[in-house]
Structure 1
Amino acid sequence: MRNRGRVSGEKKTLKKKVVNADKISRNPSLESLKNLFLLYIAELKEKLGDYYYSMGVNGKTDKLAVVGVYPSFMGWSIPYMIGAAKAHPLPVLLGCCLLFFMAVEYSLIMVSSGSPPYDVGFVWTQSLHDGLMQRPALNTLLAAMNTIFVGMQTGYILWAWLVEGRVRPTIAALFMFPSRGILGYLTQLPLPQDFLGSGVDFPVGNVSFFLFFSGHVAAAVIASIDMKRMRRHHMASMFDILNVLQSVRLLVTRGHYTIDLAAGLGAGWLFDSLAGRYEESKRNVVQKENFDYEPLINAKAALIS
């Protein structure tokens, strides 16, 4: 009885398949879709197995790569991923930071439109701010010292150009200050509450200034990078320390937001790199055109370097 039931069930299934096939054969559109699908599957299988060999050195055949649409991740294994993580810990750390700050961003309670900006640097330096507010003479002294440091940055950048004939720090500063002016004008941030100004602070005289980004920090970074490039490591270390102290003071006096200082740090590196590319392009012109003199970049120094 069981065998008879199984046989009858198989007959019914076969009959259904025949009926479905007959329906498809009667419907030309379904038949064409079926054929297209089968062709796509066959082509996909062919591409997934598409390996090719290229000629290596000295005419020897060498398997260089797998080409086609074979996904790279399909070759990953657990030992491979562990080894990759050990060999490249920084991208792994950055990936974890990405996930962490995505969670922070999507769960954060945003600052209301009528409230002052929330700045972590202001929170961390609140006690120093309160102490400096009660000591105006100390605030004036620190402002004067900071202005002297700005003069040191400017003096070094001009010295490198006018005395040593190296224009890269000056070009970097020329890239930086107009960019700061454009960005500062496009987004004019409100002056932080409890700002502690001084008549001797740079810019001198309690005049208006752009908050984003910090020109103090960016110029110090440009000078420090050039010092390291010229192997003046002790001077560069001194500038880096003074730049950190300057950044703390700007936070304590509420002269800049934390984001202004961080952007100033990145701007210094960025515009030094752009100045280097500009200088290199001019060197190539001097060498290609065989100029005897180039107005900004000394031809002899360019050819020697």
Structure 2
Amino acid sequence: MNGPNTRHRSASKNKPTPPSVNGHTPNSVIKKDTDSSSMKRSPSSSAKNFCCSLGNAHFLKWRAEDLWGVALHHPLPCAFAASLLFFMVVEYTLRMIPPTAPPFDLGFIATATLHQLLESRPALNTILAGLNTVFVGMQTSYILWTWLMEGRPRATISALFMFTCRGILGYATQLPLPEGFLGSGADFPVGNVSFFLFYSGHVAASVIASLDMKRMHRWELAYTFDILNILQVIRLLSTRGHYTIDLAVGIGAGILFDSLAGKYEDSKKREALLVTSGNTYGAFYNSPK
């Protein structure tokens, strides 16, 4: 009865088995087995897996109708791709502006006639500068009104974000005043004082105000601000008060900081829901929009 078969069964019975929980082998044991098996993999298997992943690449599944569908249903990205190729050619073939030469500005070239007109008529330049200052006052008044009178601080927060960033960037890279600058004591900042060129706070603040008007469905007022902003851009280029890049980035800055102010406001509203009702978070609490 104690023959070889019996000894073999007893030996297998005494072999330690991995502990189980509710009939399942613990993850540590599985991980140990997996690690030992992965160590045994040869470099050829890794290369084979890499080739398999390349074989499953997304673009290999494209068909002719898929490519046609991109051009048909996504014209804007296709236009961006074409412009990328175009400007790559321009960038590699364009001659750089010498250090002693003034910057090349396409906006200055487009407004050369208006620049000559304002240069020959200082009184007209002063009148337009005064109107521009009035428009800046309109922007500021509306932005503060939305917070102080309507309890909607988003435009005010956006303007604070925007002007702080403008101060940092404007000081970090101080652009030279454009040649032929036509200053006026009636222009904003009033008194013909120095100012940061990059980027245009005039344009950015106008965009912030216009976006708020559109959120509130004040379409007529918003379109009026947009038209005045376009006229402001033309005047600033004509007087050489800003480079074209200052104005273009000003538009983007207004959109960007309006979005960031909205995210900031939403985060504070979510926080307010988690605290006691006695906390009002100051004058920025529980605004409609």
**What is the one-letter code of the residue matched to 1:269?**
I
Structure 2 gaps of 5+ residues are 1-40
Q: Cα distance, 1:38 vs. partner?
A: 5.2
Does residue 185 of structure 1 match 2:193?
no
Q: Distance in 1 between matches of 2:73 and 2:268?
A: 39
CA contact (8 A) 1:283 1:297 kept: no
Name 1:18's counterpart in structure 2. none
Matched position secondary structure for 2:284:
coil
Name 1:297's counterpart in structure 2. 284
Q: Cα distance, 1:249 vs. partner?
A: 0.1
**Correspondences of 1:73-222 after superposition (within 5 Å):** 73-222=59-208
Name 1:285's counterpart in structure 2. 271
Q: 1:40 to 1:248 in 2, by over 3 A?
A: same
Does residue 238 of structure 1 match 2:248?
no
**What is the one-letter code of the residue matched to 2:166?**
R
Q: Distance in 2 between matches of 1:114 and 1:219?
A: 34
Structure 1 gaps of 5+ residues are 1-34, 49-67
Q: Distance in 2 between matches of 1:197 and 1:40?
A: 69
TM-score (norm 2): 0.82
Q: Distance in 1 between matches of 2:44 and 2:253?
A: 56
**What is the one-letter code of the residue matched to 1:256?**
H
CA contact (8 A) 1:192 1:254 kept: yes
Aligned residues: 248
**What is the one-letter code of the residue matched to 1:295?**
G
RCO greater where, 1 or 2, for CA within 8 Å and sep 6 or more?
A: 2
User: What whole-Å deviation, never above 9, does each CA across 1:266-304 have from its counterpart, x for those lacking one?
Assistant: 0000000110011001000111114342203233x46xx
**What is the one-letter code of the residue matched to 2:69?**
G
Matched position secondary structure for 1:296:
helix
CA contact (8 A) 2:269 2:285 kept: no
Alpha carbon RMSD of aligned pairs, Å?
1.8
Q: Cα distance, 1:39 vs. partner?
A: 3.8
**What is the one-letter code of the residue matched to 1:272?**
D
Q: Cα distance, 1:77 vs. partner?
A: 1.6
Q: Distance in 1 between matches of 2:215 and 2:203?
A: 18
CA contact (8 A) 1:218 1:264 kept: yes
Q: Distance in 2 between matches of 1:256 and 1:155?
A: 23
Matched position secondary structure for 1:127:
helix
Q: Distance in 2 between matches of 1:153 and 1:115?
A: 36
**What is the one-letter code of the residue matched to 2:175?**
L
TM-score (norm 1): 0.78
Q: Cα distance, 1:93 vs. partner?
A: 0.6
